[in-house]
Structure 1
Amino acid sequence: MRSAEILEQLDAAAEEFLFPDLGHGYYYAVDARLHGYRDGGQWALIIETVGYSPRAGNLIDVLHVFGNCLTSGEPGLDNSDFLDRVDNWDEIEDLDEPETYRGGPVVIRGQKIAVAAKPGEDMVDVLRRLVPRHRELLLADEEELRRRIRVDIPEVLRLDQWNHPDLAGGLRPSESEAFRQIADVLTTGDLRRYAPSLPSNTHWSNWPDSGSL
Structure 2
Amino acid sequence: MRSVEVLQQFDAAAEEFLFPDLGHGYNYAVDVRLHGYRDAEQWALIVEAVGYSPRAGNLTDVLHVFGNCLTSGEPGYGNGDFLDRVDNWDEIEDPDEPETYRGGPVVVRGQTIAPAAEPGEDLVDVLRRLVPRHRELLLADEEELRRRIPVDTPEVLRLDQWNHPDLAGGLRPSESETFRQIADVLTTGDLRRYTPTLPPNTHWSNWPDSGSL
Q: Bin the TM-score by the shorter chain.
A: over 0.9
Amino acid at match of 1:134: H
**SS of the residue aligned with 1:147?**
coil
> How many residue pairs end up in the alignment?
213
Question: Where in structure 2 are there 5+ consecutive unaligned residues?
Answer: none
Matched, 1:20 2:55: no
Matched, 1:41 2:12: no
State the partner residue of 2:198.
198
Amino acid at match of 1:158: R
State the partner residue of 1:3.
3
* 1:89-147 deviations in Å (ceiling 9; x for gaps): 00000000000000001000000001000000000000000000000000000000000
State the partner residue of 2:145.
145
**SS of the residue aligned with 1:65?**
strand
Question: Where in structure 1 are there 5+ consecutive unaligned residues?
Answer: none
**SS of the residue aligned with 1:103?**
coil
| Identity %, equivalent residues | 88
Q: TM-score, normalised by structure 1?
A: 1.00
State the partner residue of 1:31.
31
Q: Distance in 1 between matches of 2:206 and 2:102?
A: 27
* 1:141-193 deviations in Å (ceiling 9; x for gaps): 00000000000000000000000000000000000000000000001111110
Amino acid at match of 1:169: G
Q: Per-residue deviation at 1:11?
A: 0.2
State the partner residue of 1:78.
78
State the partner residue of 1:209.
209
Q: Spell out the pairing of 1:162-177 with structure 2 (5 A cutoff).
A: 162-177=162-177
Q: Distance in 1 between matches of 2:132 and 2:7?
A: 31
Q: Per-residue deviation at 1:41?
A: 1.7
Q: Spell out the pairing of 1:179-198 with structure 2 (5 A cutoff).
A: 179-198=179-198
Q: TM-score, normalised by structure 2?
A: 1.00
Q: Spell out the pairing of 1:20-169 with structure 2 (5 A cutoff).
A: 20-169=20-169
Amino acid at match of 1:152: D
**SS of the residue aligned with 2:116?**
coil
Q: Distance in 2 between matches of 1:150 and 1:70?
A: 7
Q: Distance in 2 between matches of 1:46 and 1:77?
A: 10
Matched, 1:178 2:165: no
**SS of the residue aligned with 1:126?**
helix
